[in-house]
Amino acid sequence: MNFDSPEGEICAACGNSVARGSAVFANRVPESNDIVTRIEMGRKYPHGEWICIICDNMNSDGEIESLEEVLLNINVANYFLKNQIAILGRKCL
Ligand SMILES: [Zn+2]
């Protein structure tokens, strides 16, 4: 498995992509536990090297603790992503 590929950049808890270009790229948190610990913790995707902002804000009951903060962070990341795409688009012209 190639962990450098964008496909390898997933959330260890939910399996969603946190690769560059995804809305949760800027807010991802490194999963600092080793793979054995991740399995013991019940991570469904223990080969994932990251935790996405949604899972990072989830309590042990599976509820998002601060939905407003999660949505704000994703919206800010989306804004910067769109700006970056617009800048790249202008450079290509
Ligand atoms: Zn996640």
Cα–Cα nearest to 25, from 12, 15, 39, 10: 10
pLDDT of residue 82: 86
Measured in angstroms, how far is the CA atom of residue 48 from the centroid of ligand 1? 10
Mean pLDDT by 10 residues, the chain (93 residues): 58 93 88 94 94 90 86 86 85 71
91 CA to centre of ligand 1 in angstroms: 33
Tokens of 90: 């202008």
What pTM value is reported for the model?
0.72
47 Cα: distance to centroid of ligand 1 (angstroms)? 13
**Residues 52 and 18 sit within 8 Å (Cβ to Cβ):** yes
Give me ligand 1 centre to Cα 93, in Å. 37
Dump pLDDT digits (tens) for 10-30.
999 999 999 988 888 888 999
- How many A from CA of 76 to the centre of ligand 1? 18
